[in-house]
Amino acid sequence: MTRRPTTALALGLAGLVAAACHPAPTVAPFPPMVAPAPTTAPRGGLTDAPRNWQLLDETLDHVPGLGIDRLQREILRGAAPKATVIVAVIDGGVDTAHADLRANLWQRPADAPPDGHAGERFGWNFIGGPDGRDVNRDTYELTRIVARCRRSDSTLPSALATRCPQLTADLATRRRNLETQLRNIRTVGDTLARIWSTLRRVTGTDSLTVDRVKALTPTDTVIARYRKIYLAVTPLGLTEAGLRDATTSFRTGLDASLNPDFDPRPIVGDHYADVHESMYGNPDVMGPDASHGTHVSGIIGAVQGNGIGIDGIAPAVRVMMIRAVPNGDERDKDIANAIRFAVDHGARIINMSFGKGYSPEKPAVDAAVRYADAHGVLMVHAAGNDGANLDSMPSFPTPIYADGGAAHNWIEVGASSWIGGDSLVAPFSNYGRERVDVFAPGVDITSTVPGGHYEKESGTSMATPVVAGLAALILDYYPALTVPQLRQVILTSATRYTNQLVIRPGSKDVRVPFGSLSRTGGIVNAYEAFRLLQPR
């Protein structure tokens, strides 16, 4: 599953705090994960991302969004959609009770013929078992490959089998790094706990606030230093709860994600080695952790005009949830089956906000991608959050087939920011002149989360449903478009920032033309897409 940059940001901040608290640290520092500060101030004097900024317009609002509000006012003018579009979201689960989503969730038609998925209602869960249990944590694909190396698995593709010593060493290095980072974050947590406790005592309150700490005029150098640290980290969201979450995440990495002896697959009860098997799983599309999938679904299809929460991008949409992505790396067999399920149940668009570095059963996924491509289904995939060049380091699944050729109905999406200027591209986003098609808003996107709530999240996982939502919006009004035509409209209408110098993702201050980071050099634009479709 694509790593969430919000977690990386928290860890990077923890590294900065560790350095501030311990000028001569005895443990290795965290790797640099914090976004470089933009040298261009956000336009319009903004200090925070506007709510629903992805719907705003560059020309009128000075925010590089899709221009959907402008589209509604100037072109659509209250016109009713001509069709309702099914968008399949392959993810970790969705809160089917969320008031801002429920009306727009796909439900299996009552008169649909049986398809072998008993109890299916809102979609299907390929990482659940027949007894109702669900997989939550799973290993990374690298970990599974090393486990197969250890048992000399003859079914491991030869290209990976020959790399077993290297991959085993890589896993060991990652575990050592994680152990070091866990020690660091525990040290940070202990230090900050001492700072917070001391400041509570000095201010005479159990509830610290920035104003109360600012009001301190300490003469003691230790208290002065504690005050400075508190005022530096608090606005950045570094909290006691956040540190506890980070500690739990790192511990889980060691116990599950990077542990070759951990295997939750028996929960599913399938014949795992049989990549052609498809009749397994259960109908529980929420699962134990629906936060990511609910957020993605809201970007596409939160109910518009209901007076609560947010507005999704597409007004006439049915979101089909296919649960196939655990907390860990998704498995090729499940992704292949999820794609086929989406196609067979009428999806015109598939959102894939996930990715991983290895794909041992890639031929099975390729066959499913070919199936979707042949049936005219648009596949929208997240480029990933490693600040890496996909031209040299792919993130699977990819549209490039192992035996040659490529899918036509595919869009690879990078993440852009509301800030603009040299920070127009998200600092975590993967990129690639040959492998990334276009960018879309993916920083500080407010959307639905379980329990009827809303939160901001950042990632190419958020940029991808922006594009999927745009595709559904276009088909709402132009249902006769073929998918190749739809894809062409989305890419052609993207706003070009070809020569805009931006900080290259993954670097501190290397500036490159935005146009060098994708095929189009652009950010998707709904207003321009509909202008392009208007009769001449």
pLDDT of residue 106: 98
* Nearest partner of 106 among 486, 420, 472, judged by Cα: 472
Who wins on pLDDT, 28 or 176? 176
Q: What is the pLDDT of residues 203-221, one digit of tens each?
A: 998 888 889 999 999 888 9
SS3 percent helix, strand, coil of the chain, rounded to 5, is 40, 15, 45
Averaged pLDDT score across all residues of the chain: 90
Cβ burial of 337 (10 Å; 0-12, 13-18, 19+) is buried
Contacts of 519 (CB under 8 A, 6+ apart): 433, 434, 436, 437, 438, 491
The helix/strand/coil state of 231 is: helix
Distance CA 384, CA 409 (A): 19
Q: What is the pLDDT of residue 14?
A: 47
Confidence of residue 321 (pLDDT cuts 50, 70, 90): very high
pLDDT at residue 42 in the model:
57
136-150, 167-181, 238-252, 292-306: which has the minimum mean pLDDT?
238-252
- Rounded CA-CA distance 321/323 in Å is 6
**Any bridge partners for residue 446, and if so which?**
456
- For the cut 60, the answer to whether the pLDDT of residue 18 exceeds it is no
Residue 225 has pLDDT above 60, yes or no: yes
Q: Specify the higher pLDDT residue, 37 or 138.
A: 138
- DSSP tag of 255: I
Average pLDDT over residues 272-285: 96
> Mean of the pLDDT values across residues 364-368?
98
- Say if strands 495-496 and 522-523 run parallel, antiparallel, or are unpaired: antiparallel
Give bridge partners of residue 416 from the DSSP assignment.
425, 441
pLDDT in tens, 85-123: 999 999 999 999 999 999 999 999 988 888 888 888 999
Q: Are 263 and 235 in contact (CB under 8 A)?
A: no
* Lowest mean pLDDT across 36-40, 60-64, 434-438: 36-40
Per-residue model confidence as pLDDT tens digits over 464-486: 999 999 999 999 999 999 999 99
pLDDT in tens, 488-531: 999 999 999 999 999 999 999 999 999 999 999 999 999 999 99
Q: Residue 13 above 50 pLDDT?
A: no
Residue-wise over 390-419: b if at least 16 C-beta within 10 A, else e?
Answer: beeebbbbbbbbeeeeebebbbbbbbbbbb
Given a contact cutoff of 8 angstroms between Cβ atoms, the answer to whether 476 and 314 are in contact is yes
Instruction: Report pLDDT digits (tens) over 146-159.
Output: 999 999 999 999 99
Q: Which of 27-41, 124-138, 180-194 has the highest mean pLDDT?
A: 124-138
**Predicted pLDDT at 25:** 31
Q: Write down all domains in the chain, each with its CATH number in brackets.
A: 1-34+142-263 (no CATH), 40-138+277-533 (3.40.50.200)
pLDDT for the residue 44 = 56
Q: How confident is the model at residue 302 (pLDDT cuts 50, 70, 90)?
A: very high
User: What percent of the chain is predicted at pLDDT more than 90?
Assistant: 79
Q: Is the pLDDT of residue 200 over 70?
A: yes
SS3 call for 494: coil
Mean pLDDT over 174-194 rounds to 90
- 533: amino acid identity, one letter: L
